[in-house]
Amino acid sequence: MHSSLITLPLLALLLFVGSQAQNLHICNTHCDNRDASEVSDGARVVATSTINGREIRLIISDTDNMGFAIIINGTARDEVWLDRSFDAGLSWENGSLLGFTTIPQGVNYATTTMFNVDYDAVKGLGALRACGRGLDPSPGPLTCTEWARSNVHSETRIDAAATALMQYFNGQLWHTVGWWNGANVLTALIQYMKFTDSRTHFHVIETAYTENLDGWDGNFTSDALDDTEWWALAWIDAYDVTGNQTYLAMAQFDADYIYQYVDSVCGGGVWWSTARTYKNAITNELYIQLAAALHNRIPGDTKYLAQAIEIWEWFKQSGMINEESLINDGLRDDCTSNRDTTWTYNQGVILGALVELYRATNDSTYLSEATTIADAVLQSPILTRNGVLTEPCEYSGQVGCGDHTGGCDCNQIAFKGIFLRHLGELNRNLGSNGQGPYQAYLNRQADTTYASNRNILNQYGIHFAGPLEDINASTQQSGLEAFTATLFPRF
């Protein structure tokens, strides 16, 4: 896994996101700095913060897709302004103090002018917060509300989760996550498009393709073969929603690159990396899924189906699937299972792989083998705690990704969404009329993360059951996938 970011030129259109150019003057339906008295009916207070007896309010008009700030219960010269962020609240237009104003003599409140939430011309998705401070008797500490936005592109919980994820997009990848996570964020966004009718973020498919084509070793390959597979599977989904053969051809190119690293050590299987030091579960599960998916999309193919079956037959008897029907991480040098952690994503990708094999063959044995593994996750007290999907590293008290104590590293925070993506796929193939055998479980994950793991910007943290912490684009990817997994195909 490569977590580090690579640098390539940003899309010129989105340059403002990285540089946070000051003094943006945005005109959508209305222009920035519009008088607040012109606000449309239905504006609402979305966030408040208090400091030294003053209250700062953020007011958003969904109709205008604009917001403004008010300070009340203050004294003359108290200050109020807006901050606006185009990267999910990581940074904002420094020094702009949008709409900055002070309380005049004789009253105890002041209102800023209105500013746009989004920047439509460059598809910039923004967030606002209201800030202020008292000036009497001397400059006091400042306070800001939480970040929030309008309900534009965010009316339902799944649309809001997708829009909050797109706020991290930097024109190439996503702020706070690197190469392999980027492939998974893209997959989560494309699956959202696939299972809803939304095309709001459609442009990201081509942009991510073009801007990352020269990343690492080119054509989405690198020494990390699992990373190559994540990208290849993103291009399979891209092909599904666009019908564009370029993406299918790229997935095929990547599969052929990976298959060079299948050999007879331990009886078969793909190596984790080109260094040929470790045969593990994820790389092989992903390959089965990729090869079977290619077969299902390339008329007349026999090669990829044969590869998918070959790797599955090997994997099934490799020892990595343990006596509980859960999948451990990989093989030791002596070719026995290392019995390492049963990460949720290792229980997930195989479900998607077996569904693709079922589609390729109509052999329902593949679905029953998938069901056995899925049921084992639902029954595992480690992976399903009080009915809620939980990564083994969560709540461990160890310092995890970032400075927080979520206990999972920067790779592991993405795993639960990956599991749900594939459980959803199995559920769709076992069910009909919007109900599969895992529907109740999937609905519970979505409802729990919505209720216990979300802020008012519709950002999701690492723990589905809360508390809310460690928010970044990978935890957001998992949040989005909790909703997508509950949906049935509509295309």
Question: Where on the chain is the footprint of ligand NAG (CB under 6 A)?
Answer: 3, 55, 72-73, 91-92, 94-95, 176-178, 181, 206, 209-210, 218-219, 244, 246, 253, 360-362, 401-402, 404, 410, 470-472, 474
Determine contact, residues 125/163, Cβ cutoff 8 Å: yes
Name the minimum Å distance from CB 3 to ligand NAG: 5
Rank residues 106 and 381 by Cβ distance to ligand NAG and give the closer one.
Answer: 106
Write out the two tokens for 440: 């109740």
Rank residues 96 and 112 by Cβ distance to ligand NAG and give the closer one.
Answer: 96
Task: Give CA–CA dist 415/349, Å, rounded.
Answer: 10
Name the minimum Å distance from CB 423 to ligand NAG: 23
Name the minimum Å distance from CB 177 to ligand NAG: 4
Task: Give CA–CA dist 369/354, Å, rounded.
Answer: 8
Name the minimum Å distance from CB 153 to ligand NAG: 23
Q: For residue 405, what are the CA distances in angstroms to 41, 389, 397, 400, 475?
A: 43, 18, 6, 5, 14
Rank residues 152 and 408 by Cβ distance to ligand NAG and give the closer one.
Answer: 408
Rank residues 219 and 453 by Cβ distance to ligand NAG and give the closer one.
Answer: 219
Task: Give CA–CA dist 446/420, Å, rounded.
Answer: 10
Task: Give CA–CA dist 385/381, Å, rounded.
Answer: 6
| 3-state SS assignment for residue 81 | strand
Rank residues 138 and 362 by Cβ distance to ligand NAG and give the closer one.
Answer: 362
Name the minimum Å distance from CB 22 to ligand NAG: 10
Determine contact, residues 367/426, Cβ cutoff 8 Å: yes
Length of the chain: 491
Rank residues 219 and 307 by Cβ distance to ligand NAG and give the closer one.
Answer: 219
Rank residues 44 and 339 by Cβ distance to ligand NAG and give the closer one.
Answer: 44
| Listed residue (431, 430, 437, 428) closest to 484, CA to CA | 428
Instruction: Write the CB contacts of 421 (distance below 8 Å, at least 6 apart in sequence).
Output: 187, 188, 191, 348, 352, 481, 484, 485
Name the minimum Å distance from CB 179 to ligand NAG: 10
Name the minimum Å distance from CB 90 to ligand NAG: 7
SS3 content of the chain, % helix, strand, coil (to 5): 40, 15, 45
Name the minimum Å distance from CB 324 to ligand NAG: 31
Name the minimum Å distance from CB 46 to ligand NAG: 16
Rank residues 40 and 364 by Cβ distance to ligand NAG and give the closer one.
Answer: 364
Residue burial 283-322, b: 16+ Cβ < 10 Å; e: rest: bbbbbbbbbbbbbbbbeeeeebbebbbbbbebbeebbbbe
Our measurement of the distance from residue 57's CA atom to the centroid of its chain's CA atoms, rounded to an integer in Å, reads 30
Tokens 């993506």, residue located: 421
| Listed residue (158, 160, 188, 154) closest to 174, CA to CA | 188
Name the minimum Å distance from CB 216 to ligand NAG: 10
Burial of residue 324 (CB within 10 Å: 0-12, 13-18, 19+) is: middle
Tokens 């390729």, residue located: 360
Cβ-closest position to ligand NAG: 402
Rank residues 286 and 401 by Cβ distance to ligand NAG and give the closer one.
Answer: 401
Rank residues 194 and 279 by Cβ distance to ligand NAG and give the closer one.
Answer: 194
| Listed residue (49, 73, 44, 41) closest to 59, CA to CA | 44
Rank residues 18 and 319 by Cβ distance to ligand NAG and give the closer one.
Answer: 18
Task: Give CA–CA dist 154/162, Å, rounded.
Answer: 8
For residue 137, cis peptide bond before it (omega within 30 degrees of 0): yes
Rank residues 326 and 360 by Cβ distance to ligand NAG and give the closer one.
Answer: 360
Name the minimum Å distance from CB 171 to ligand NAG: 15
| 3-state SS assignment for residue 435 | strand
Determine contact, residues 349/285, Cβ cutoff 8 Å: yes
Tokens 């340059």, residue located: 15
Name the minimum Å distance from CB 192 to ligand NAG: 19
Name the minimum Å distance from CB 312 to ligand NAG: 16
Rank residues 281 and 401 by Cβ distance to ligand NAG and give the closer one.
Answer: 401
